[in-house]
Amino acid sequence: MAKHIYQEDRTVQLILKIPKDWRLIWISKKIVRKIDLEKAISEIEPHPTPKAYLEQYTIPPATAAEVLYIATYICDDIMNKTVVDLGCGTGRLSIGAALLGARETFGVDVDKVAVNVAQKNAERMNVKQKAHWIVADVDVVRGTFDTVLQNPPFGVQRRRADRKFIKKSLELGRRIYSLHKGGKSNQEFIKRFIERHGGKIRGIFPMKMGIPRMFEFHTKRRHSVQVDLYKIEGKAYESV
C-alpha cells in the first residue's frame, strides 16, 4: 500500500450519512479515517450484470479508499474541486469524492445499467445534489475539470482499451488519478504514452487490487493483481 504523509494541523469537516448500522458520522478538526471511508464505499452497490468484454470490474472498497485518500489528503485534489470519473461504473470513486467534499462530481459510463445503479447509489449515500451522471462514451465529454478519477479497462479483453481513457483524461483534467495494470514493462509503456500525449507524471503509487471470481474464464475464487495509480498533470494544468 502507498505510504501516506499527513499534515497534523489540517482541519477537515465532513458529514457522511451512511445507511444501516452507523447513520451519521461528524468528523471535525481531523482527517476522516480510511477505514470509515472504506466502509462507506462498501455500501455502494456493484454492477449487477458486469460484462467481460467491457472489463467491468467494480473497484474494491479498499482500493477506492486508497486512491481517494491519496488524491484528497496527500495532494489536495478533491475537496472543493470539480471531479469527473471516466468509466464510472456504479460510482464508487465519484461518490467517494463527493463524500470527501468535492464541489461537484460527474460520472460518465457507456453502460446505462451501471449509470442507473450509480444514480441510486448516490441517493442512498445522500450526495445526489452534487453527483451528476452521464450515459455516454468518454470520447464525447468536453470541458475542463479540476480532477479526473478513472479505473479504466486494462486492455486485457480488448487491446488498447485503456488508451482512449488516458488521452481523454489529459484533455479534460488539471490533475488525473488513473489506475493501470502493474509490472515494469506495462509501466514503461504507460509512462511513454502519457508523456507523448502531453501529460506529466508527478507520482506512481503501487498497490494491490483484489478481484473476485466474476466470469467463466476466472479459475480462482479471488485473485490479487498488482496495479499502479498514476498522478498526472493534464494539458489543462497550465490554465490554473
- 32-62 per-position pLDDT tens digit: 889 999 999 999 988 766 565 455 578 899 9
Paired with 230 in beta bridges are: 178, 204
Q: Please say if the pLDDT value at position 79 is more than 60.
A: yes
Complete domains list, the chain, with CATH:
34-239 (3.40.50.150)
- 137-193 per-position pLDDT tens digit: 999 999 999 999 999 986 455 566 789 999 999 999 999 999 998 889 889 999 999
pTM of the model: 0.81
Instruction: Return all residues near 4 (Cβ < 8 A) that are at least 6 apart.
Output: 69, 70, 73, 74
Burial of 133 (0-12, 13-18, 19+ CB in 10 A): buried
- Region of 55 please: left (phi>0), alpha (psi -120 to 50) or beta: left
Q: Mean pLDDT, to the nearest integer, of 102-108?
A: 97
Would you state the pLDDT for residue 224?
A: 77
